[in-house]
Amino acid sequence: MNKSISCDIFCTVIDNFGDIGVCWRLARQLAHEHHLSVRLWVDDLSSFSRINPDIDQDQSLQHSNGVEIRRWLLSEDSLFAFVEPAQLVIEAYACELPKSYVTKMATQVCKPVWINMEYLSAEDWVAGCHCLPSPHPSFPLVKYFFFQGFTQETGGLLLERDLLARRDAFQKELHCQSVFWKTLGLPMRKPDEIRISMFCYENIFLPELFSTWAQSHTPVLCLVPEGRILPQVAVFFRRESIATGDVLQQGKLQVHVIPFVAQEKYDELLWACDINFVRGEDSFVRAQWAGKPFVWHIYPQKDNVHYKKLSAFMKLYCAELQGEATQALQCLWERWNGKSHRGEETQTISIHTWSVYFSFMEAFQQHAREWSMQLSGNNFVLNLLNFVRKIDKMQNLGCKSDLR
């Protein structure tokens, strides 16, 4: 596909950073690697500016990394009557497109290919729904579901062409790591220390985990990005409040509160640490590309429906892991997510839970690298563009479309 192909991505930020995090990666990849003219419509530039400091919250139209960024005023639907629809239209996570925009899509001679990019899940049902059509009730338009996922029957995961090579170069080169740590104001690691990044939602097990680390034999340096768990961290260290730059120590545990960094730099943090605690969707995926052991705090949903998603992912992820290592991983992950492990009453993250997990570090490390290799064969953007060409051919037979 060439530069003349236009693409509109629509993103509403429900909460946190995952929705815009994923859309921003998708937009950049389509523009950089496939030369599409991408317009990204976002309703919350403030969240966007946290992961991309280029963003000026007061600008309704701006450019960053070759992508046109537009503020999407949800209440101003009629403004979209003056917007020419793109050839490829992607709505993220079933956010509702402006009605006047959809009306205009229907009037195009060559109908836009309309994709609903769905949330990531490892559950079996995803394979059955991936690529399903959803005809519009009144217009001659069809929207298609396109799912990210971990198996060949899904759309795969977002992965930039050069990401794994950049990761490998960074992880091999001590100099790159030392420069990275310096930019965060941190010393190079000591030989016996483990470095852990901690990005999670409020978690009642955090104090237990911290006490475990404080009492462990190995020094633990834990990096906490500025965010919603800081009050919990402050309580643990008996401080009224804490802020970026603070260093807190208890026993063998040293916590550094670091700034919330731009997305590219967050990748480097994941590459540089020994274990990454991640959450939601996007940091969870990036931790997998880091090829390092990770612990997932899944986005909590009503009626604990997220537990099914957690189990589905663990089943896939642990399929090639040896039995005892699987047990140790599942025990820690389930407890971290407040789910009882194998129906046991114990809900704590004890020193035992951690030390059993930690005893499998070598196996987890090797597995994490193999897993990232295994996933890298299923590239979301390549799959998406192949699918778009196919749909365009089918729905726009009678007109000359640039999409093919």
Q: Which of positions 342-401 make contact with ligand TRH (CB under 6 A)?
A: none
Per rule CB under 6 A, is residue 48 in the interface with ligand TRH? no
Cβ-closest position to ligand TRH: 18
Rounded to a whole number of angstroms, the minimum distance from the CB of residue 379 to ligand TRH is 18
Q: Which listed residue (8, 19, 44, 267) is catalytic?
A: 19
Q: Is the torsion defined by CA of 257, 269, 361, 18 positive or negative?
A: positive
Tell me which DSSP letter residue 263 carries.
H
Q: Is the torsion defined by CA of 103, 105, 108, 111 positive or negative?
A: negative
44 tagged catalytic: no
The span of 17-25, 148-156, 158-166, 354-362 binding ligand TRH (CB under 6 A) equals 17-25
Residue 15 and residue 19: Cα distance in Å, rounded? Answer: 8
Per rule CB under 6 A, is residue 280 in the interface with ligand TRH? yes
Cβ proximity to ligand TRH: between 199 and 205 the closer is 199
Residue of the chain from 21, 98, 149, 293 that contacts ligand TRH (CB under 6 A): 21
Cβ proximity to ligand TRH: between 51 and 321 the closer is 51
Rounded to a whole number of angstroms, the minimum distance from the CB of residue 310 to ligand TRH is 13
Question: Where is 207: in which H helix or E strand?
Answer: helix 206-215
Residue of the chain from 145, 180, 299, 387 that contacts ligand TRH (CB under 6 A): 299
Q: Which listed residue (267, 268, 281, 282) is catalytic?
A: 281
**Cα–Cα nearest to 318, from 309, 329, 308:** 329
Per rule CB under 6 A, is residue 263 in the interface with ligand TRH? yes
Widest pairwise Cα distance in the chain: 72
Rounded to a whole number of angstroms, the minimum distance from the CB of residue 26 to ligand TRH is 11
Sequence-ordered strand ranges (E) for 262-357: 275-279, 294-297
Rounded to a whole number of angstroms, the minimum distance from the CB of residue 311 to ligand TRH is 17
8 A C-beta contact, residue 19 and residue 93: yes
Rounded to a whole number of angstroms, the minimum distance from the CB of residue 118 to ligand TRH is 11
Residues ≥6 apart with Cβ < 8 Å to 84:
104
- One DSSP character per residue, 383-398 reads HHHHHHHHHHHHHTTT
Per rule CB under 6 A, is residue 283 in the interface with ligand TRH? yes
Residue 330 and residue 189: Cα distance in Å, rounded? Answer: 28
Per rule CB under 6 A, is residue 225 in the interface with ligand TRH? yes
Per rule CB under 6 A, is residue 266 in the interface with ligand TRH? yes
Rounded to a whole number of angstroms, the minimum distance from the CB of residue 150 to ligand TRH is 15
**Cα–Cα nearest to 295, from 246, 352, 360, 228:** 360
Cβ proximity to ligand TRH: between 220 and 223 the closer is 223
Q: How many residues bind ligand TRH (CB under 6 A)?
A: 23
Residue of the chain from 44, 118, 208, 281 that contacts ligand TRH (CB under 6 A): 281
Rounded to a whole number of angstroms, the minimum distance from the CB of residue 24 to ligand TRH is 7
Tell me which DSSP letter residue 218 carries.
S
281 tagged catalytic: yes
8 A C-beta contact, residue 297 and residue 201: yes
Residue 277 gets the label, from left (phi > 0), alpha (psi -120 to 50) or beta, of: beta
Cβ proximity to ligand TRH: between 261 and 328 the closer is 261
CA distances to 114, 237, 238, 242, 255 from 234, rounded to whole Å, are: 47, 5, 6, 6, 11
Per rule CB under 6 A, is residue 17 in the interface with ligand TRH? yes
Cβ proximity to ligand TRH: between 147 and 358 the closer is 147
Per-residue buried b or exposed e for 312-331, using 16+ beta carbons within 10 Å of the residue's own CB: bbbeebbeebeeebbbbbbb
Cβ proximity to ligand TRH: between 130 and 279 the closer is 279
Binding residues for ligand TRH (CB under 6 A): 14-19, 21, 51, 119, 199, 225, 260-263, 266, 279-284, 299
Active site residues: 19, 281
